[in-house]
Structure 1
Amino acid sequence: MKPHDMGVLFDECAGSGTTVHLDRPFDIAPDGGVEYGVAELAALVRDAAGWLAAAGTRPGDRVAIVKANHWDYDLLACAAVRVGAVPAQLSAHLSAETLEVLLKRLEPAVLVTDVGVLERGRVEGADLGSFARRVLALDGSAPGALTMDDVRGGPVPAPHRRADYAPLIIHHTSGTTGVPKLVVHSTRTIIDKLARFETNRVPRIGVRTDDTLLNASSYAHGRTFCWTASVMCLAPRRITFLTHQDPDRADPLLRAHPPTVVEALPATFVRLQPLTERLDNPFRRARLFISTYDAMHPPTIRAYLTASRRRSPLWMQGWGQTETGPLTFRFHTRRSLHSKYSRKPDTRNLGRPVPVKTRLRVVDPDTLRPVRRGQTGLILTRTAALCLDYVGEHERYEAKRVGKWWNTGDLGLRNRDGSVHLLDREVDRITDLSCLELEDVLEDRLAAADECVVLGCPGVPPLPVVVTEDGSLDHAAWRRATRDLPLLQDPVGLTWSEVPRTGTGKVRRYALLEQLTGRTDTSGTGRWT
């Protein structure tokens, strides 16, 4: 089976034998327990469609969803699609100021949220509910908002069909450099061109019916919506969902259902890494690890591949954008990551473009003319999965189009074999250096580091930030690690919670730079962020 109409996805998959296990009950069904069959999920989507209709949602409306992190983001989105609306999934991790900007652009008919989000908005000086015609609070009462008791019990609307090229769903970009962009996708771009491709049962990397999947993501983001479409059709035996990054809380659930396929945020992989060192680690059965969203560094990949007791586990590293979906894939094995202390670790090579689906070219940032293989430039892509537009920022969308090509805003080069070597975001670039490559080397050499971040400032050497459990630094270890590296400023030690992050765990580099130096200027232009 291939996915198409997300409004009836769960109905069409209801006969599968997949069992879903949650780390906590859904926010839309707090009394529903932590285990579901697909038929029960289908019933929950139908009920949610009735709630949205009772709240006044009509075909063509936008429905904004912003709540605590859980997979029911996608159940609510499917319910909105069923009634003919366009769901916009917004992370509750965003500041109230940013949510205010995004809601103004969206002008939603209904805002589905929780009391905590509304209260945080009021504390931060934003009346988030004022930007929607109706507000539905999932977990209690709030001034001017409908409660669940107000919308339960109504009729379930029949599925509303839409054109394949019409807006289907809206997601926001990560927002590492400012207010996120609101990305509009259609059924044709995100489902037909992306999710359907993932339903192919490719040997070794395809989902099998006897698999136990673990997904630990930020469920407001576009990757999970696409993943939901494909995985429901592939019907694995079990799916386990994690909504947090606490290894001690995750351990019992993962031991109860040891995963064979793991997809998680890069930041979540880092936070759960201590579990790989336990005697009976929960990743012992894993045959495939999948990472997207952000750069992965060698020590973390190496730790998970070593933790697996499979003969030849794989790590699949994807690179792409909310606007385009995946552009390249690269596979890592234990053997490919055995070399330590490399000046240019292999994780910067992101592999070749997705066959048949994606074309890439590297161009001069000033002239936008193609450069030779091996020469650094801006990476452009050409893909049929390109989003339709940015909500409220059409000129910004058009500025990133170069004819039929899309400017990713990333700097890199094409190797002789056609693979892509990623260096930095254009806005983060440092002359003659790569922040990402330096971070790879530092994390490989500093055993106590949970994460390393290198920040570029014009006119001064790069500023390294080393994230450790308690924020302390071993200066002797630092000197050994940097003895053959370019000149850097003295390092700053921070704890994980002291680093500003997006909902997907990415470091907000602008915010961190301002926090540490009071500066926000960078060597890059930022024209294509």
Structure 2
Amino acid sequence: MKPRDMGTLFDECAARRPHTVVVLDRPFDIAPERGTTFTVPQLADLVQEAAGWLHAAGVRAGERVAVVKRNHYDYNLLACAAVRLGAVPALLSGHLPDATLEILLKRLDPAVLVSDRPLARHYARRVLSLGDGDLTLDDVRGTRAPSPARRHDDDPLVINHTSGTTGPPKLVVHTTRTLVKRLARFESNRLPVVGTRRDDVVANASSYAHGRTFCWTGSVFCLEPRKIVILSSPDSARAVLGAHPPTTVEALPCAYVHWQSLASADDNPFRSVRLYLSTYDAMHPPAMRTLLNASEHKRPLWIQGWGQTETGPLTFRFLTRQAAARETTARSLGRPVPGKTRLRVVDPVTFEPVPRGAPGLVLARTKARCAGYVGEQDRWRAKTSGPWWNTGDMGVLTATGGVLLLDREVDIVPGLSCLEVEDFVEDRLPEVVECVVLGSAGRLPIPVLVTGDGRLDRERWRSVAAVLPALAPPHVLTWDEVPRTGTGKVRRLELLTRLVGKAERHGTGRWT
């Protein structure tokens, strides 16, 4: 089965009488009384009910529905319910600060805001509260939804935001053609080795407001695995994955970093994993090695995907245990998706192609490119060059057609790859959970070292720093002291500003 309409996806899957069981680490925020285990028909019923709630709250075809709440998979159920009504869901991470939410909600001007946060009333024409409020779920339960609405393949389908590591996120508009037909349908193929099987236990630990999980929803339920395990927090992995050992895992890079100690423990829940998948951000080799070694499968495989909210996946690379043991960098992004994406590297000033092996700005060509940015269409047009999309990343196209990432253009430091230094430090100092190198004009690059207790052996650091380019003295912080996005990415500009005050960067930031 291939996904066709996200508004009726669960109905169509339920009609096939699938054997899939969905297990949650905690009840849905929109249905706390229904427990943590669902069948696909029960999810289909919940989507229909939610469509009735939204309709009773005033949502009509063509209008926008914003959702801001705690992280959980019911983001995607609410999105499907809005699509069923012909509306356009806009999913905003609950990690966003109020000031950023105000900016995004003003751009969206939603007819209804579904939220568990006490946001100002003027952000939406109506607020449907998941807690206390003038209009709550209890006020709209029992309302029958109208028949599913249909939309053109090129009409707006869903709005997701980018990570927002350098400022307010962009609001990315995808259509049925770009997200369902170009991305989800491709993923719903039963590919050998890397595809989802009917006997798989599929685990996902993600940020469910982001576009990746909406696309994943369109493919994974069509593939009918035996079980789908949803983690709203990486912290629930020990209990939930211990009770439901997965065979495939997709998670945020920050989740894999947190799971390294769990993977080394006696009650390691990753013994049956045959396939890991990471997206969103670079994965440094130590975490990949640890998770691959935690599996007792004969040949576990790691798929590292690179892409953007605006484009979907652009490249993939595959690592076995042996390949991960040899790997020293997170900068190798693999090759373009065959038949789906093309890449070129150009001079950032002239936009003329540079020779293979030379650094430059990475452009991508894909039919899955988003339709625009809400309220910032000029910004979207500035990142397009005919069919080519400016990723804003600096990289190298290798002789074999692979991509070697250097840095985001906005984060560049002349003569240095921050990512390369980060790789080196994390590989040499296992106690460093994460290394972040920040560049600021007129200063030496600043290393930020994240450790479990915020402490570091300075002698060990000096031995590593001795073979690196000149760096400023390190700042040693704990994980929670570092500002992050909903996907766990470091808000580099905010962190730099906290450490040194107003900071001038080397990059132009023109394509963020």
For 2:326, what is the secondary structure of its paired residue?
Answer: coil
Residue deviations 1:185-219, cap 9 Å, x none?
00000010000000111111000000001100000
Which amino acid in structure 1 is aligned with residue 420 of structure 2? Answer: E
Trace 1:148-227 onto structure 2 (pairs within 5 A). Answer: 148-227=137-216
Distance 1:423 1:228 in 2: 32
Which amino acid in structure 1 is aligned with residue 318 of structure 2? Answer: F
Equivalence for 1:354: 337
Distance 2:144 2:473 in 1: 64
Equivalence for 1:124: none
For 2:66, what is the secondary structure of its paired residue?
Answer: strand
For 2:415, what is the secondary structure of its paired residue?
Answer: coil
State the Cα distance separating 1:482 from its structure 2 match.
2.1
Equivalence for 1:312: 299
* Contact 2:336/2:402 (<8 A) preserved: yes
Which amino acid in structure 1 is aligned with residue 11 of structure 2? Answer: D
Equivalence for 1:69: 71
Give the TM-score normalised by the residue count of structure 2.
Answer: 0.98
1:499 paired with 2:499, answer no
State the Cα distance separating 1:459 from its structure 2 match.
2.1
- Which of 271, 275, 287 pairs up with 1:284? 271
Distance 1:28 1:51 in 2: 11
Which amino acid in structure 2 is aligned with residue 6 of structure 1? Answer: M
Give the gaps of 5 or more residues in structure 1.
122-126
Equivalence for 1:256: 243
For 2:199, what is the secondary structure of its paired residue?
Answer: coil
For 1:487, what is the secondary structure of its paired residue?
Answer: coil
Residue deviations 1:283-335, cap 9 Å, x none?
01001110000111010001001101111111100000000000000111111
Distance 1:154 1:307 in 2: 48
State the Cα distance separating 1:135 from its structure 2 match.
0.6
For 1:6, what is the secondary structure of its paired residue?
Answer: coil
Distance 2:208 2:137 in 1: 22
Equivalence for 1:99: 101
Distance 1:361 1:201 in 2: 30
Equivalence for 2:9: 9
Distance 1:381 1:324 in 2: 8
- Which of 130, 141, 150 pairs up with 1:138? 130
* Contact 1:452/1:464 (<8 A) preserved: yes
State the Cα distance separating 1:272 from its structure 2 match.
1.8
Residue deviations 1:354-402, cap 9 Å, x none?
0111011000000011000000000001110000010000110000011
State the Cα distance separating 1:407 from its structure 2 match.
0.3
Which amino acid in structure 2 is aligned with residue 351 of structure 1? Answer: G
What percentage of residue pairs aligned between the two structures are identical? 62
- Which of 346, 351, 355 pairs up with 1:363? 346
Equivalence for 1:332: 319
Which amino acid in structure 1 is aligned with residue 156 of structure 2? Answer: P
- Which of 378, 390, 393 pairs up with 2:373? 390
Trace 1:266-277 onto structure 2 (pairs within 5 A). Answer: 266-277=253-264
Distance 1:403 1:87 in 2: 28
State the Cα distance separating 1:130 from its structure 2 match.
1.3
For 1:310, what is the secondary structure of its paired residue?
Answer: coil
Equivalence for 2:407: 424
For 2:422, what is the secondary structure of its paired residue?
Answer: helix
Equivalence for 1:381: 364
Distance 1:45 1:84 in 2: 14
Which amino acid in structure 2 is aligned with residue 446 of structure 1? Answer: L
Matched pairs, number: 510
For 1:170, what is the secondary structure of its paired residue?
Answer: strand
Distance 1:292 1:520 in 2: 29
Give the TM-score normalised by the residue count of structure 1.
Answer: 0.95
* Contact 1:428/1:522 (<8 A) preserved: yes
Trace 1:473-512 onto structure 2 (pairs within 5 A). Answer: 473-512=456-495
Distance 2:393 2:174 in 1: 21
Which amino acid in structure 1 is aligned with residue 385 of structure 2? Answer: V
Equivalence for 1:83: 85
Residue deviations 1:257-295, cap 9 Å, x none?
011100000011111221111123100100111000011
Equivalence for 1:49: 51
* Contact 1:337/1:346 (<8 A) preserved: no
For 1:338, what is the secondary structure of its paired residue?
Answer: helix
Which amino acid in structure 1 is aligned with residue 20 of structure 2? Answer: T
For 1:450, what is the secondary structure of its paired residue?
Answer: strand
For 1:262, what is the secondary structure of its paired residue?
Answer: strand
Residue deviations 1:206-260, cap 9 Å, x none?
00000001100000000000001100100100011111132xx421111110111
Which amino acid in structure 1 is aligned with residue 305 of structure 2? Answer: G
1:236 paired with 2:225, answer yes
Distance 1:221 1:82 in 2: 19
State the Cα distance separating 1:403 from its structure 2 match.
1.8
Distance 2:469 2:320 in 1: 29
State the Cα distance separating 1:339 from its structure 2 match.
3.4
Distance 1:4 1:98 in 2: 34
For 1:347, what is the secondary structure of its paired residue?
Answer: coil
State the Cα distance separating 1:76 from its structure 2 match.
0.2
State the Cα distance separating 1:507 from its structure 2 match.
0.2
Give the gaps of 5 or more residues in structure 2.
none
Any runs of at least 4 consecutive aligned residues in structure 1 with deviations exceeding 6 A, and if so which? none
Distance 2:304 2:394 in 1: 18
Distance 2:85 2:495 in 1: 42
Which amino acid in structure 2 is aligned with residue 312 of structure 1? Answer: R
For 1:90, what is the secondary structure of its paired residue?
Answer: strand
Distance 1:182 1:288 in 2: 31
For 2:358, what is the secondary structure of its paired residue?
Answer: coil
* Contact 2:330/2:419 (<8 A) preserved: no
Equivalence for 1:414: 397
For 1:366, what is the secondary structure of its paired residue?
Answer: coil
For 1:104, what is the secondary structure of its paired residue?
Answer: helix
Which amino acid in structure 2 is aligned with residue 158 of structure 1? Answer: S
For 1:301, what is the secondary structure of its paired residue?
Answer: helix
Distance 1:171 1:301 in 2: 28
* Contact 2:329/2:423 (<8 A) preserved: no
